[in-house]
Amino acid sequence: MKPSTGYVRRGKAIERDLFGRRARPSPGSDPAMSLIALDLREMSERALRAGLGRSSSLIEVAALMVELEGSVLLQDD
């Protein structure tokens, strides 16, 4: 039986950020920085589900800052 939406999920679920975009690892990014950003995004999603919209947005901004700072550090090296 088909799902009512007609959408069939195949394979591994695609991870998405708070805004519905696919998670994108930065090329050449530090694995530790990527892990921190991913943890922050997961925390952001939990905050959103708990009804903490503004807090969720701030946590998402923190994840973006970690990625940006990580890429700057890599460029400096």
Q: In the prediction, which pLDDT does 2 show?
A: 45
CB–CB of 17/41 below 8 Å? yes
Cα 45 to the center of its chain, rounded Å: 9
The secondary structure of the chain in percent helix, strand, coil, rounded to multiples of 5, reads 55, 5, 40
Domain boundaries, given as residue ranges, for the chain: 31-76
Q: What is the pTM of this model?
A: 0.61
Give me the tens of pLDDT residue by residue for the chain, a chain 77 residues long. 444 444 444 444 556 665 676 655 555 567 888 899 999 999 999 999 999 999 999 999 999 999 888 877 767 66
